Chains A and B, each alone.
Chain A
Amino acid sequence: MPKDAENITDLLVSYGRGDKESLDRLMPVVYDELRRQAARYLRREKAGHTLQTTALIHEAYVRLVDQRNVQWQNRAHFFGIAAQMMRRILVDHARTKKRAKRGGSDIRVSLEDATATVKGQDLDVVAVDEALSRLEKIDEQQARVVELRFFSGLTVEETAAVMSISPATVKRDWSMAKAWLHRELSGDR
């Protein structure tokens, strides 16, 4: 456990108490850890394998947070933060790629897939993000379910636990959000 684990735990606790400033201090640490974990995972993976969904965030959590002193509530915050972060990372990256593609000068684009879609899915991350932002304004709970499930890969049960709602509610929220987002993205009404 890194030596700043205690600090992270404190920050999470105070974030849980509503101290928004602690979030600013949490983000870079969580981000760093996620990156480290991601790098480690990618190295471990054989090409073509997909990442075990939540393992990455779980591991970051275990490494960063002193679990003896943190309440379940804080764990939920952590996963919430991680999910938001993953979302941001994906979107930023996709935007960069789009820009590069338009610029036409970045060779990297041609080496990687030249679209800003999620691997194996015909899905525009930036569009998903924009639609999700609209959904947030209408139904924050649904948007958070999407964040946790789609961007962090949490299962229904995990999402329910993190959000302190029932799995049935998660399922219902997920279904509707999915339908709504799909409609938004496909452009038909």
Chain B
Amino acid sequence: MSETDPQRWQRVKEIFEGALERRGVERESFLENACANDGDVREEVESLLRSYEVAGSFMESPAVAQAADDLADEQKLTPGQRVKHYQIVNLIGEGGMGEVYLATDTILGRRVALKVLPTFVSKDPERLRRFTQEARAASRLSHPNVCVVHEVGETEDGRPFIAMEYIEGQTLRQRIRSQAMKLGDVLDIAIQVADALIAAHEAGIVHRDIKPENIVIRPEGYVKILDFGLAKLTERHKGATHTTMSTLLFNSSPGTVIGTAAYMSPEQARGVAVDERTDIWGLGVVLYELASGRVPFTGETPTDVVVAIVEREQPPISEHVDGAPPELERIVRKALRKDKNERYQIVKELAIDLRSLRKELEKNSMLERSILPGTGSSASSEYARASSSRDRKAETDELKQLRTDFIESLFPRRPGWMFMVVGILVLLGVIFGTYYKRARPSEPKAPVPFERVEVTKLTTNGNALMGALSPDGKYVAYVTRESGKESLWLRQVDINSNAQLLAPREGQYQGVAFSPDGNYIYFGYAGTQDNDAGRIYRLPVLGIGATATQIEFHEGLPALSHDRKRIAFIRFDRQSQFDSLIVANPDGSGEQVLGTRKWPERFGWDPLSRPEWSVNDQTLILPVVTSDRSFTDDTSTNFSVTLFEKDLVGSAERTIPLSPQKFDEIGRVTVHPNGNGVIMLGKAHGAAFVQIWQLFRDGSQRALTNDLSEYRELSLRADGSALITVQTQTLSRLWLLHKNEVKPAPVGSGTSRYYDLSLAPDNKILYASDASGIADIFEIALTGGDERPLTSAGGRNYAPVVSPDNRYVVFHSNRTSVFQVWRTDRDGSRPKQLTTEATESTWPTFSPDGKWVLFQHADPNNPYTLWRVSIEGGTPERVTDGLSIRATVSPDGKLVAFWHNDQQQNSRWRLKVVQLDTGATFNIFDVAQTVQVQWDTSLRWSPDGQYLTYVDHAGGIDNIWGQPFAGGAPKQLTNFDEGRIFSFDWGKDGSLVASRGVITSDVVLIKDAGK
């Protein structure tokens, strides 16, 4: 009878179940009865019962955890499949740390190597974090001998991946096997590896796993080191002992090729802490192997190898091959000292020795000699002679030379590649524009940098003006202003240390930037005698106490290609209004113009813009900013941004549209290093504030910031993973100061953003506010009640003034695109446009009889002259010829005063009073330097007609001062003891309303917190 006989099974089952419910004698007799005479069934049931008794916890823990583990694990990617924007082409390698695929970056159209790590890596968040940190750090090295890491991310199912430079070539392991190596090649390779390690160690990164498998040689001879930081992953647990264990496990079967164990340093083998000297050991082993064809420490089993590493001295190279230079033996011995304190202490020392050796062998034409076994020459005496002449001095000179080489390779020896003088004035300032419709940002679809961010305020004094982030993200250089003096500071981001680089002084900084290698800070600065025409200076980053040197400039920042063979930069030609994209050799020779743009289409837009090199150095990418007007005209508006791509081979070029988002003002525009689009400062069309925007290739856009602050600086880390900006926040409230009183009283309880105050004859305060993100005009009673908007028709509305008869309100608005003067009834109804010029008309004010509206009008040839138009409309007529800002008419209607600048050399802003009917000059007054005049600086005639009143920042506190119109010294009219005055107006009875508050401006670090 078979087990599968259903009837029998059923019977066994029933008896088994019955027996389970019984114990001992009871079970015995049950079985006796149930099985009757069927001994076969009884045997089966008893066998199952025995099995049940011993089964215990057998299968009691579900395998679901294991299944989940397996599920998420090692799911191979197939050709055509996508990981974010990378499309898999094929599997090119596989190993203990996951698989490597050749993939196409579908955004940049370039090939990348995609290393997908096993899931277990991501199960230990701490380890993952450390790895990511290291990989990112390594990616920031941007050293030509370090494989570039483009991105560290996570696949949809949670496997970490690294997208990196796809390197064609062979690993050093393959090379060793495939061809004989010349001594010159050996030294070349070792020197390049050492160079990469110098850069890594300076950045605090230890490779930990230097071996021929991690070194790739490109066809033209460049050496690239792979997998910085990856070695950390093999440390399965904290504590180095486990490193040893897992490393040993790699090679657990006897007789298999000894892998990693052979390259382990004694400290790794012993499982104690490792530092950069472990890499020196690793390079020593590689050098030994290259020179001798063998690894220095071998054994039958990994354990034997480890014992050899820890205890035995390696045989000299000459034991394996003839003709190894004694100096090479010495270098290898020094790199392979068991005690790390006796080894080379820094890779630079090793690099210097290798270079010296190469130089000396060169002199003696030894480099062509092969040193592989059997092909070696017998010229050891020559080697000995060649290398015996080293001395201390040579080493010192070499060190100097090395340093110089290193710096100069990054910095072309060429004056004048830095900035364009006028352009720098635009660095902070954004150009004003006018437009009407509101933008509606939509959500982007592409993978988005800065989708999740970590925001850190780096300064808190509220007085930061501008700043720049170093390419490696470690430093922030920034400028602060205190008591009218500006100073330059350097902050180390991670440890929050601050150092003042340049002491406070008069004058203005106009922009600050790091050199691409992070060694220098460049800044524009205009001294008090410079009349705003700034000069560019250069200061070493680590040069506290060093002096800044002035340099010439007429070009944008250079971008060095990844192979360091070429630079690309933008040249600004203001005369002919052309921007050119130029590539050249690093020393500036061999210039080649790759493309030009005629203004108002501009490459890069500001002098800090530079092209981005694609990773294969085949393509340059840069932003193009287009305006509908000339860039020399302050009323430029309607900015949009596209990308320009130029292939160096085949010279194809592409203009790539981004989001069509229009901007009224535009600041810095930077290509994101991932090539996916731009990140920029802009005031979206119709919006009130400059924010940080991202525009993408897929046509989407995104406001990275969206708040009531202004942003006015944007400096990206080289890898695009962080940026700094300067965030400016303004808060104010309304105050009322009755005549003859000292202490002002607050109007209402609100804190908001109040501008352009005007006290109406009915004792209401009119003001403009952009606190909602769009500027409108409001009124509020002196008691703080009855607050209501007077405009709501769109556009930005500013500068309300009520007519003396309380019938009308005039103001300027850009609701029809360009700022024009408008009139409404006192309640905001019946809007009527009073000016219709093509360029802007702003800051209206009434003549005392209420018949005329005076305003300032700008056209490209005559910036801000004074005009007037009838309150009923009609053709405006010009009142003044020169610059006339914020005109105010005397109570008797005879005189008009305004801010004036004759725009001559060293000219300053002055207060000018002219006869309203003839235009003849009545008086001109100098004002204190602490009066900061801009295009919108308030000026009001006092109600008694005696003073021209304005805000003076003397002593760091804003107060209202009065200049007697008939002459004499200015007089302080208020006695506020803190804060800023944003706007003020006088009542007929001599009472004063003012909007007072604070502006804080701080450097903010925004980090991409990943997906």
User: Is this pair of chains taken from one and the same complex?
Assistant: yes
On A, residues with C-beta under 8 Å from B are: 34-43, 45, 47, 50-51, 53-54, 56-57, 86-87, 89-90, 93, 104, 106-108, 110-112, 118-121, 123, 125, 128, 137-139, 146, 149-153, 172, 175-176, 178-183, 186, 188-189
Contact: A118 with B52, CB < 8 Å? no
Contact: B63 with A180, CB < 8 Å? no
What is the bound-complex CA distance between A108 and B252, given in angstroms?
12
Bits for B40-73, please: 1 = Cβ < 8 Å to A, else 0.
0000000111011011011101111111111111
With A47-B124, A90-B66: A110-B157 Cβ-Cβ less than 8 Å? no
Tell whether B772 is near chain A: CB-to-CB under 8 Å: no
With A107-B95, A175-B52, A179-B16: A42-B62 Cβ-Cβ less than 8 Å? no
Nearest-Cβ distance from residue A79 to partner chain B, whole angstroms: 12
Q: Which residue of A lies closest to B71 (CB)?
A: A38
Q: Which residue of A lies closest to B251 (CB)?
A: A110
Q: Which residue of A lies closest to B4 (CB)?
A: A138
Contact: B69 with A42, CB < 8 Å? yes
Tell whether B9 is near chain A: CB-to-CB under 8 Å: yes
What is the bound-complex CA distance between A111 and B4, given in angstroms?
42
Q: Per DSSP, are chain A's interface residues mostly helix, strand or loop, or mixed?
A: helix
Tell whether B118 is near chain A: CB-to-CB under 8 Å: yes
What is the bound-complex CA distance between A183 and B3, given in angstroms?
14
Tell whether B158 is near chain A: CB-to-CB under 8 Å: yes
Nearest-Cβ distance from residue A175 to partner chain B, whole angstroms: 6
Bits for B391-412, please: 1 = Cβ < 8 Å to A, else 0.
0000000000000000000000
What is the bound-complex CA distance between A139 and B3, given in angstroms?
11
With a cutoff of 8 Å between Cβ atoms, the chain B residues found around residue A89 in the complex are 67, 70-71
Bits for B84-119, please: 1 = Cβ < 8 Å to A, else 0.
000000000001100000000000000000000011
Q: When the two chains form the complex, which single residue of B59, B72, B124 contacts A38, counting CB atoms closer than 8 Å? A: B72
With a cutoff of 8 Å between Cβ atoms, the chain B residues found around residue A50 in the complex are 61, 65
| Residue of B9, B54, B63, B118 contacting most chain A CB atoms (<10 Å) | B63
Nearest-Cβ distance from residue B160 to partner chain A, whole angstroms: 10
Tell whether B461 is near chain A: CB-to-CB under 8 Å: no
Nearest-Cβ distance from residue A94 to partner chain B, whole angstroms: 8
Q: Which residue of B lies closest to A51 (CB)?
A: B65
Extra contacts, 18 of them, besides A53-B64, A176-B13 (Cβ < 8 A), are A35-B71, A35-B72, A35-B75, A37-B68, A38-B69, A39-B119, A42-B119, A89-B71, A93-B70, A107-B96, A111-B236, A111-B249, A118-B61, A118-B66, A121-B63, A150-B62, A182-B59, A183-B47
Q: Which residue of A lies closest to B159 (CB)?
A: A39
With a cutoff of 8 Å between Cβ atoms, the chain A residues found around residue B157 in the complex are 35-36, 38-39
Contact: B62 with A179, CB < 8 Å? no
Q: When the two chains form the complex, which single residue of A43, A90, A112, A138 contacts B158, counting CB atoms closer than 8 Å? A: A43
Q: Which residue of A lies closest to B236 (CB)?
A: A111
Contact: B118 with A108, CB < 8 Å? yes
Nearest-Cβ distance from residue A86 to partner chain B, whole angstroms: 4
With A42-B72, A90-B70, A175-B52: A51-B64 Cβ-Cβ less than 8 Å? yes
Contact: B72 with A108, CB < 8 Å? no
Nearest-Cβ distance from residue A184 to partner chain B, whole angstroms: 9
Q: When the two chains form the complex, which single residue of B16, B119, B159, B250 contacts A110, counting CB atoms closer than 8 Å? A: B250
Nearest-Cβ distance from residue A62 to partner chain B, whole angstroms: 16
Query: 7 closest Cβ contacts across the A-B interface?
Result: A107-B96, A153-B62, A39-B158, A179-B52, A153-B64, A38-B68, A183-B51
With a cutoff of 8 Å between Cβ atoms, the chain B residues found around residue A87 in the complex are 67
**Interchain Cβ contacts under 8 Å between A and B, 8 examples:** A37-B68, A38-B69, A57-B64, A110-B250, A110-B252, A111-B250, A123-B58, A138-B6
Q: Which residue of A lies closest to B70 (CB)?
A: A93
What is the bound-complex CA distance between A40 and B253, given in angstroms?
35
Q: When the two chains form the complex, which single residue of A37, A42, A108, A186 contacts B51, counting CB atoms closer than 8 Å? A: A186
Contact: B58 with A182, CB < 8 Å? yes
Q: Which residue of B lies closest to A139 (CB)?
A: B9
Contact: B9 with A175, CB < 8 Å? no
What is the bound-complex CA distance between A42 and B65, given in angstroms?
9
What is the bound-complex CA distance between A56 and B124, given in angstroms?
19
What is the bound-complex CA distance between A110 and B245, given in angstroms?
10
With A139-B13, A176-B17, A182-B52: A107-B250 Cβ-Cβ less than 8 Å? yes
Contact: A125 with B63, CB < 8 Å? yes
Bits for B247-278, please: 1 = Cβ < 8 Å to A, else 0.
00110110010000000000000000000000
Contact: B73 with A93, CB < 8 Å? yes
Q: When the two chains form the complex, which single residue of A51, A125, A180, A183 contacts B68, counting CB atoms closer than 8 Å? A: A51
Contact: B123 with A118, CB < 8 Å? no
Contact: B16 with A176, CB < 8 Å? yes
On B, residues with C-beta under 8 Å from A are: 3-4, 6, 9, 13, 16-17, 20, 47-49, 51-52, 54-55, 57-59, 61-75, 95-96, 118-120, 122-125, 156-159, 234, 236, 246, 249-250, 252-253, 256
With a cutoff of 8 Å between Cβ atoms, the chain B residues found around residue A182 in the complex are 51-52, 54-55, 58-59
Nearest-Cβ distance from residue B849 to partner chain A, whole angstroms: 70
Q: Which residue of A lies closest to B16 (CB)?
A: A176
With A38-B71, A108-B74: A180-B65 Cβ-Cβ less than 8 Å? no
What is the bound-complex CA distance between A139 and B250, given in angstroms?
44
Contact: A151 with B67, CB < 8 Å? yes
Q: Which residue of A lies closest to B54 (CB)?
A: A182
Q: When the two chains form the complex, which single residue of B59, B75, B95 contacts A178, counting CB atoms closer than 8 Å? A: B59
Contact: A152 with B62, CB < 8 Å? yes
With a cutoff of 8 Å between Cβ atoms, the chain A residues found around residue B73 in the complex are 93
Contact: A179 with B65, CB < 8 Å? no
| Residue of A121, A182, A189 contacting most chain B CB atoms (<10 Å) | A182
Nearest-Cβ distance from residue A47 to partner chain B, whole angstroms: 5
What is the bound-complex CA distance between A37 and B158, given in angstroms?
10
With a cutoff of 8 Å between Cβ atoms, the chain A residues found around residue B69 in the complex are 38, 42, 119
Contact: A150 with B59, CB < 8 Å? yes
Nearest-Cβ distance from residue A164 to partner chain B, whole angstroms: 19
Nearest-Cβ distance from residue A186 to partner chain B, whole angstroms: 7
With a cutoff of 8 Å between Cβ atoms, the chain B residues found around residue A118 in the complex are 61, 63, 66
Contact: B52 with A42, CB < 8 Å? no
Q: When the two chains form the complex, which single residue of B63, B124, B236 contacts A150, counting CB atoms closer than 8 Å? A: B63
Nearest-Cβ distance from residue B924 to partner chain A, whole angstroms: 72
With a cutoff of 8 Å between Cβ atoms, the chain B residues found around residue A110 in the complex are 96, 246, 249-250, 252
What is the bound-complex CA distance between A153 and B63, given in angstroms?
7
Contact: A56 with B68, CB < 8 Å? yes
Q: Which residue of B lies closest to A151 (CB)?
A: B63
What is the bound-complex CA distance between A45 and B96, given in angstroms?
23
Q: When the two chains form the complex, which single residue of A39, A120, A152, A180 contacts B48, counting CB atoms closer than 8 Å? A: A180
Contact: A128 with B123, CB < 8 Å? no
What is the bound-complex CA distance between A186 and B48, given in angstroms?
12
With a cutoff of 8 Å between Cβ atoms, the chain B residues found around residue A152 in the complex are 62, 64
What is the bound-complex CA distance between A142 and B686, given in angstroms?
71
With a cutoff of 8 Å between Cβ atoms, the chain A residues found around residue B250 in the complex are 107, 110-111
With a cutoff of 8 Å between Cβ atoms, the chain B residues found around residue A120 in the complex are 61
With a cutoff of 8 Å between Cβ atoms, the chain A residues found around residue B74 in the complex are 108
What is the bound-complex CA distance between A182 and B57, given in angstroms?
11
With a cutoff of 8 Å between Cβ atoms, the chain B residues found around residue A119 in the complex are 65-66, 69
What is the bound-complex CA distance between A67 and B731, given in angstroms?
52
Nearest-Cβ distance from residue A182 to partner chain B, whole angstroms: 4
Contact: B59 with A39, CB < 8 Å? no
With A51-B64, A86-B67, A138-B3: A36-B156 Cβ-Cβ less than 8 Å? yes
| Residue of A41, A86, A180 contacting most chain B CB atoms (<10 Å) | A180
What is the bound-complex CA distance between A40 and B95, given in angstroms?
24
What is the bound-complex CA distance between A64 and B532, given in angstroms?
65
Nearest-Cβ distance from residue A90 to partner chain B, whole angstroms: 5
Nearest-Cβ distance from residue B61 to partner chain A, whole angstroms: 6
Contact: A42 with B123, CB < 8 Å? yes
Contact: A172 with B17, CB < 8 Å? yes
With a cutoff of 8 Å between Cβ atoms, the chain A residues found around residue B256 in the complex are 104
What is the bound-complex CA distance between A111 and B253, given in angstroms?
13
What is the bound-complex CA distance between A87 and B70, given in angstroms?
11
Q: When the two chains form the complex, which single residue of A43, A93, A146, A178 contacts B55, counting CB atoms closer than 8 Å? A: A178
Nearest-Cβ distance from residue B66 to partner chain A, whole angstroms: 5
What is the bound-complex CA distance between A168 and B158, given in angstroms?
40
With A38-B71, A42-B68, A43-B158: A176-B62 Cβ-Cβ less than 8 Å? no
